Amino acid sequence: MSVNTLLKRVTAIAAILLIVAGFFTAPLRAADNFGYTATGNVAYSYVDVSTTGTAVLANADDATALLTLPFGFRFYGVTYTSLCASTNGLIAFGGCPTGDITNLDLTVQSPTGNLPLIAPFWMDLTFAIPGAGSIIYQTLGAEPARRFVAQWKGAFALNQPSPLDFQVILYEGTNQILFQYQNVETANAEISKGKSATVGIRATDGQANGNRVQWSYRTAVLTNRSAIRFEPPTAIPVTIDLKPDSNPNCVNPTSRGTVPVAIFGTSKFAVADIDQSKLRFGGAAARSCAVDDVGTKDGLPDLVCHFETTEVTTWPAAGADCGKINLTGSLKSGFGITGSDIACRVAERTCKAGPTP
């Protein structure tokens, strides 16, 4: 065999090994439609609260505990003051999970009850065997930068002789989420490194609306002394409608008067939480706002605000036909909101063509 032939074969084998290894390598970063991002490029610094925190669910199997949060924690645009921790390696908001003995693929499946979830190591785990531990929780730090730690200490999987140790940390103010893994590498290859677990976060209807970050699903990608950080967007995306019920949204940027912009409320987003004084549409401040039910008239309150036409600085330039105009603002809690809609100049082709069916 020639040296060239040998080198080619070695190169080919190496390439195959790299491809195979890729199937078992955690992503460096991940993101979802809501704007959450996740990264494994974060320093591991386990915060062991096993001797200082409060223990729950000792000797329990397929059980949950409702825990009160010491601060409001915003998750997918909703602020929660309590959470429900499960022996099966996950946290739910808005209720306690049922039937969570089997972990799901967050990208295509919805758990029973369709609850928002935080899943550091979701699979069938138990504390109901000799030598097992419990979930231990504790609040650390001082307002306004406290941390809420929930730690699974000595959790066991079926037919797994070694305990698993991992934790979730929720951060006040930033609403960040940190997963930390102290001991997840075991002798059982079906359990080790998360081989049978779901790791990630999801919102209500996450499998359908894309509001979920699945780090891994039944793939051995976790290691001891590692961490994953999930960060929310700096602003909540909201749906707006320039000149509600108009199509297209034709404007004359030089005309006097105001243009209406509707901010739509949802079952998870109350327009009453908006700080109207902070709203800006194309740079213009709101002149007035009123609650109404516009657009689809779904029975949920919307906020319709009027902006001085000549104060909007980002209308499409002459000859540009249509362009996107951004709305920014914040909630009374200080958290940002952002949305956008398309505006068209009355003198250009889209508006001359008339309404779109």
Give the pLDDT confidence of 136-164 residue by residue, as tens digits.
999 999 999 999 999 999 999 987 889 99
Whether the per-residue pLDDT at 318 is higher than 50: the answer is yes
Write the burial class of residue 255 (CB in 10 Å: 0-12 exposed, 13-18 middle, 19+ buried).
exposed
Q: Could you state, in order of their start, the residue ranges of all structural domains in the chain?
A: 24-233, 236-352
**Does 14 or 262 have the greater pLDDT score?**
262
- Stated as kind and residue range, the H or E segment containing 11 is helix 3-22
The Cα–Cα gap between 247 and 228 comes to 44
- Stated as kind and residue range, the H or E segment containing 3 is helix 3-22
pLDDT of 246 reads 86
**Does 128 or 6 have the greater pLDDT score?**
128
pLDDT of 354 reads 67
Strands 322-330 vs 280-281: parallel, antiparallel or unpaired:
antiparallel
Give the pLDDT confidence of 201-239 residue by residue, as tens digits.
999 999 999 999 999 999 999 999 999 999 999 888 899
Cα–Cα distances (Å) from 275 to 310, 311, 331, in that order, read 23, 20, 5
Whether the per-residue pLDDT at 295 is higher than 50: the answer is yes
- Chain mean pLDDT for the chain: 90
- Stated as kind and residue range, the H or E segment containing 10 is helix 3-22
- Stated as kind and residue range, the H or E segment containing 150 is strand 147-157
Mean pLDDT to the nearest integer, 92-106: 96
pTM above 0.85, yes or no: no
Mean pLDDT to the nearest integer, 29-58: 95
- Stated as kind and residue range, the H or E segment containing 306 is strand 302-308
Match domain 236-352 to its CATH number in 2.40.160, 2.40.50, 2.10.260, 2.60.40: 2.60.40
Place 169 in a pLDDT band, splitting at 50, 70 and 90: very high
Cα–Cα distances (Å) from 273 to 116, 220, 256, 331, in that order, read 21, 42, 30, 5
